Amino acid sequence: MTLKGFLKLVEIQTKLASMIPFMTGTIFCIYRYGNFKFSNFVLMFVSLLSFDMTTTAVNNYMDYRNAKKREGYGFEIHNSIVRNNLTETSVKTVIFTLLTIAVASGIILAINTNIIVLIIGIVSFCIGILYTWGPVPINRTPFGEIFSGFFMGFVIIFLSVYIHLDINSFLKLSYNGLYHSLRFDIFEIIIVFAVSLPCTLSISNIMLANNICDMEDDRENARHTLPLYIGKEQSLRLFSALYFISYAAIVFSVILRAVPIFSLLTLLTVYPLTVNLRLFYFKQTKKHTFSLSIKNFMLICVSYLATIVLGLFI
């Protein structure tokens, strides 16, 4: 497999969807708590990137194996295995190698921190695998948007904050024999959740846009995605609503003083985002307009991240 084939298989350009939340959580942790642990940062970066590439490769492989419609843009062009003439053996080797790296670095990170990181990591790994693999992959159900947004948005940001804090910070699991107790600071968890919402909802919208564009192919391939249940019109309304909830979450976070007042500058992206929404409303195709959901994610989340960075220096 060539480097180009590998990068296409793992869709390296889409890794921003995990790296931006990771950096947002890291910068937010430095801004709010003043903590940063370089070794934990590197370990999570390696584990997260490797696992994100693993799930993408598995997704492309499962789409290739399970496709009933083996022609047209969705199969011949969009699927990287077909487009780059990759062999099944090479794809399986890449998946196994990336998964091994992700698991190894994740275990070392858990050893460096505590059992909470291990538990969250195990659950995230299981969800990541079940998202694209198994008898009923999550991404073929109406729950794909919820799982992708929650785990790639909130969970990544939560972990990228938590790994830099002391073990007795706002979340602590203690046990004595058969008795276990979980103590947490509900206010700080609400803060992290509110801060994560722009990334969480924008990532959910990438999945939603993908499923809106793929409605006909999904129907033919027996996928049961959210747009097939609620219809295209309701899906488009939900698509718009999630973006404006993201903006409301930023205002809420500023009011709570969780993020700097500069974060209100993110609201300046409302106009270009609205233009993109109109374009997507007019036409929903993988080839022409799906990329607008990624542009919207970048507009909101990169701007948001930049304003938190600004708050570190001013």
For the chain, list the domains and their CATH numbers: 3-313 (1.10.600)
> Whole-angstrom Cα distance, residue 243 to residue 37?
32
Task: Give the amino acid at 246.
Answer: S
Residue 78: what pLDDT?
A: 54
Q: Residues 48, 54, 58, CA angle at the centre, nearest 5°?
A: 150
Tokens 């921190």 locate to: 113
Instruction: Look at 51-65, 79-93, 289-303 and tell me which has the smallest mean pLDDT.
Output: 79-93
Q: What mean pLDDT is reported for the chain?
A: 90
Q: Which two tokens stand for residue 180?
A: 């276990």
Residue 220: what pLDDT?
A: 82
pLDDT digits (tens, 9 = 90+) for 80-118: 776 767 788 888 899 999 999 999 999 999 999 988 899
Instruction: Look at 69-78, 124-133, 285-294 and tell me which has the smallest mean pLDDT.
Output: 69-78
> Whole-angstrom Cα distance, residue 293 to residue 202?
8
Residue 173 in this model has a pLDDT that exceeds 80: no
pLDDT digits (tens, 9 = 90+) for 211-247: 999 998 888 877 889 999 999 999 999 999 999 999 9
Residue 54's Cβ-count burial label (10 Å; 0-12, 13-18, 19+) is buried
Residue 263 in this model has a pLDDT that exceeds 80: yes
Residue 66: what pLDDT?
A: 65
Residue 10 in this model has a pLDDT that exceeds 70: yes
Task: Give the amino acid at 54.
Answer: T
Q: Helix, strand, or coil here: 172?
A: strand
Q: Helix, strand, or coil here: 287?
A: coil
Tokens 């910070």 locate to: 169
Residue 77: what pLDDT?
A: 52
- Which percentage of the chain shows pLDDT scores above 70? 93
Mean pLDDT to the nearest integer, 288-300: 95
Q: How confident is the model at residue 69 (pLDDT cuts 50, 70, 90)?
A: low
Tell me the whole-structure pTM to 2 decimals: 0.91
